[in-house]
Structure 1
Amino acid sequence: MANRIPRAVYEKELQRLQLELVKLQEWVRAENARVVIVFEGRDAAGKGGVIKRFTEYLNPRVARIVALPAPTERQKTQWYFQRYVEQLPAGGEIVLFDRSWYNRAGVEHVMGFCTMREYQRFLHQAPVFERLLVEDGVLLRKYWFSVSEQEQERRLRSRLDDPMRQWKLSPMDLESVTRWEAYSRAKDEMMVHTDIQEAPWYVVDSEEKRRARINMIAHLLSTIPYTDVPQPKLKLPPRPPSTGYERPPHDLQTYVPDHAATLL
């Protein structure tokens, strides 16, 4: 594992990058651009942590996270990409897919949730689908978060003992430990078919989370030709003189108990 970046250095650079993300957001709104960012990788590879830092200071009406549940019975009868198309951005929006249509090339294929014919059809159609998006002007970026077998197991074990993070674990997450090689082969096959010139895969070494976060964000910013959009200067207006309004007495409303006072 690479040497861990000191927290002070990490936090300073992260704050700088987050400021640039705000500038990117304003450029996306001004230019009516459409940005799609795909986050893929193994369980516990650190995707969620990056997405959290990416969107921390962004307007949720502009930057939207999409993490779709398992398809319904009706959706299973639709064209595979259909429910993802419904989530694509309109002008002035950024959509971050916390896992995406690539579920079919990974968990669905490895766990047997799709047929071999469905899997092969996906590998054929995905590049076509993505070329159509790019051709229509969508700024599509795809990131694969790579983590070693040992580090993944360490992270999964730490979640088992942490009541605040146990919700992140599912039976399939734990089974991924026993299917490491199957997932590796599936990822390699996916890359062969979908690492295309119009929408290449960018691999993020996520063995060390701090490095992965700032590396991914810095790279994303470097791939989009955004500019600093001048913002109108805002000024807080003076408070007008009182017209005699008085707040109602406390005992006429139900206030939340002062739990904080019990801690002192």
Structure 2
Amino acid sequence: MLEIIDLTQKLDKDEYTRQVDLYQTQIRLLGYHLYHQQRPCVIVFEGWDAAGKGGAINRLTERLDPRGYVVHPIAAPRGDDADKHYLWRFWRRLPDRGNIAIFDRSWYGRVMVERVEGFARTEEWQRAYQEIKDFETQLV
């Protein structure tokens, strides 16, 4: 799939700055509307290590009201989280109404990283597809 990406596309610095400014303004307005409509929002970042997720999150949140969002960096489960179902640690971090939860990595790790690295048994990651679908259906 990555072979179809056109790696020759570029933005000059001025156009990049203009677009970042535009989208940061739009995301700030989105945060405002979410708060006033009392709607929660979940934003998920996935990608390879050092792919730029952290930088993208920083640019995304630069103009957001810091009272209205939380960034959740997700690592391997530890403590109580390790003893519970893998979705537990995400479920308990879902945002309240009017707030935004930004996940730096997510529940998709079960069928990606944990599968590839052998951290989840075959039956666990296969079952995870339906569990993730059910989890996301509850979010809507």
Cα distance 1:29–1:73, how it changes in 2: closer, same or farther (>3 A)?
closer
Which residue matches 2:136?
A: 130
1:222-245 deviations in whole A, cap 9, x for unaligned? xxxxxxxxxxxxxxxxxxxxxxxx
Deviations 1:37-88 (Å, cap 9, x if unpaired)? 1111222333222211100111222121111232124322212211111100
Inter-CA distance 83–17: structure 2 relative to 1 (3 Å threshold): same
Matched pairs, number = 134
Give the Cα separation in 1 of the matches to 2:52 and 2:93.
Answer: 23
Paired position in structure 2 for 1:50:
56
Q: Residue 3 of structure 2 corresponds to which residue in structure 1?
A: none
Query: What do residues 135-184 of structure 1 show as CA deviations (whole Å, max 9, x unaligned)?
Result: xxxxxxxxxxxxxxxxxxxxxxxxxxxxxxxxxxxxxxxxxxxxxxxxxx
Distance 2:23 2:130 in 1: 36
1:109 deviates by: 1.1
Let me know the Cα RMSD of the aligned residues: 1.4
Alpha-carbon separation, structure 1, partners of 2:127 and 2:48: 23
**Distance (whole Å) between structure 2 residues aligned to residue 58 and residue 98 of structure 1:** 17
1:104 maps to which of 110, 116, 132:
110
Is 1:34 paired with 2:40? yes
In the other structure, the counterpart of 1:89 is 95
Distance of 1:55 and 1:86 partners within structure 2: 22
Match in the other structure for 1:23: 29
Provide the C-alpha distance between the structure 1 equivalents of 2:56 and 2:66, rounded to a whole number of angstroms: 16
Question: 2: distance between equivalents of 1:85 and 1:74?
Answer: 14
Matched position secondary structure for 1:79: coil
SS at match of 1:121: helix
Give identity over the alignment, percent. 37
> Structure 2: how far apart are the matches of 1:104 and 1:24?
30
Match of 2:12 in 1: 6
Within a 5 Å distance, the mapping from 1:1-264 to structure 2 comes to 1-134=7-140
Residue 46 of structure 2: SS of its match in structure 1?
strand
Q: Which amino acid aligns with 1:106?
A: M
Partner Cα distance (2:39, 2:64) in 1: 16
Measured in 1, the distance between the counterparts of 2:81 and 2:9 equals: 45
More helix by share: 2
TM (norm. structure 2) is 0.88
- Secondary structure at 1:41's aligned position in 2? coil
